[in-house]
Structure 1
Amino acid sequence: MNEIDSVSVEDRAAVTAQLGRPPRGLRDVAHRCPCGLPSVVRTSPRLDDGTPFPTLYYLTCARLCSRIGGLEADGRMREMTERLSSDEKLADAYRRAHESYLAERDAIEPLGTDVSAGGMPTRVKCLHVHVGHALAAGPGVNPFGDEALAELTDWWRPGPCVPPPT
């Protein structure tokens, strides 16, 4: 089994409430919202049945996911991808984010591929992936995750996205 037993019962319950289903491949909580609930979880590179999991960092906060969906609907991914071809410094930072992501994933379990997630390193395909990576890794690792977070400002202010488990 790939799941890590160190994830608390309360965190599992919170993530289940956030997702509306039990999490798959859960390893640990990679980032917490200021309200204290998980906002990003780290997942196993493969599910228990051997299927590769699509992302190492899975964004769980429903409110944050919705806000990011708004950015995606506004065309941010297209704009970001276009900037990669004209901004060499940004493209280098994005390539380093890709390499960091691969290194973190492969340290858990190598998948034998240089495909990471979210379109890295040549395009921006999913801002949810980039924001999850930025929250888990911290500022300065994923430039598009950092940029999206800056645009979202205080997404946590209204309080927990789901009732805290009791």
Structure 2
Amino acid sequence: MPHPSLTPASDADLEVMREQLGRPMRGVVGIAARCVCGNPTVVATEPRLPDGTPFPTFYYLTHPGATAAMSALEATQVMREFADLLAEDEEVAAGYAVAHRAYLDDRAVYGEVPEIDGISAGGMPTRVKCLHALAGHALAAGPGVNPIGDLALERGDWSPTRCTCAHPRGSS
């Protein structure tokens, strides 16, 4: 049963993601978020890749501008700041726990993989480990679902509301 918020990945989407990442995507089940120009921003992947490898990162950030922004944030002290916020703010911690469960539920639609049972991404539900994964989840799920992913997107120098693609859809 397909996840309701995913759109099928077309051959053009797969080619764009190959260009974005410098390699073909594996185990694509759909596109979870798109740039305003229509290019993929977040891809959803199978919990077990075609070669049999368990893959917990269901929502995978592909957009070069978004990934660069998350890398730049990770190079600062923001990870520690977000971890402190998670430890000190009960509301943020509760929201993060809900985000973790939502992530697992979204992935479970595509199969249960015992090796990654209970493991979501980005350090959820108790740590802040990977802003790329958390931002990918926030973009796929929408605002208000992943509080740390939302904060990362707010703090980064990339915005999902404007296109920064090297080759926007419809251009030549």
TM-score when normalising by structure 2: 0.87
Aligned to 1:141: 145
CA RMSD in angstroms, aligned pairs only: 1.7
Q: Does 1:129 align with 2:133?
A: yes
1: CA distance, partners of 2:164 / 2:64: 12
Q: Report how far residue 159 of structure 1 moved.
A: 3.1
2: CA distance, partners of 1:61 / 1:16: 11
Contact 1:65 1:128 in 2 (8 A): yes
Amino acid of the structure 2 residue aligned with 1:155: S
Amino acid of the structure 1 residue aligned with 2:144: G
Contact 1:35 1:159 in 2 (8 A): no
Aligned to 2:3: none
TM-score when normalising by structure 1: 0.90
Contact 2:137 2:146 in 1 (8 A): yes
Q: Does 1:110 align with 2:115?
A: no
1: CA distance, partners of 2:49 / 2:31: 17
Distance 1:161 1:53, change over 3 A: farther
Deviations 1:42-72 (A, max 9, x none): 0000011211114000100111101111111
Contact 2:104 2:120 in 1 (8 A): yes
**Number of residues paired by the alignment?**
161
Structure 1 residue runs of 5 or longer lacking an equivalent are 1-5
Aligned to 2:54: 52
Deviations 1:83-132 (A, max 9, x none): 12211111000000000001111121112311111100110000000100
Amino acid of the structure 2 residue aligned with 1:124: V
Distance 1:39 1:158, change over 3 A: closer
Specify which of 93, 100, 103 is matched with residue 101 of structure 1.
103
Contact 2:65 2:158 in 1 (8 A): no
Aligned to 1:150: 154
Specify which of 55, 73, 76 is matched with residue 74 of structure 1.
76
Contact 2:38 2:168 in 1 (8 A): no
Structure 2 residue runs of 5 or longer lacking an equivalent are 1-7
Identity value in percent: 49
Aligned to 1:159: 164
1: CA distance, partners of 2:167 / 2:69: 15
Amino acid of the structure 1 residue aligned with 2:63: C
Q: Report how far residue 153 of structure 1 moved.
A: 5.6
**Superposition pairs for residues 87-98 of structure 1, below 5 Å?**
87-98=89-100
Distance 1:95 1:154, change over 3 A: same
2: CA distance, partners of 1:154 / 1:129: 15
Amino acid of the structure 2 residue aligned with 1:143: P
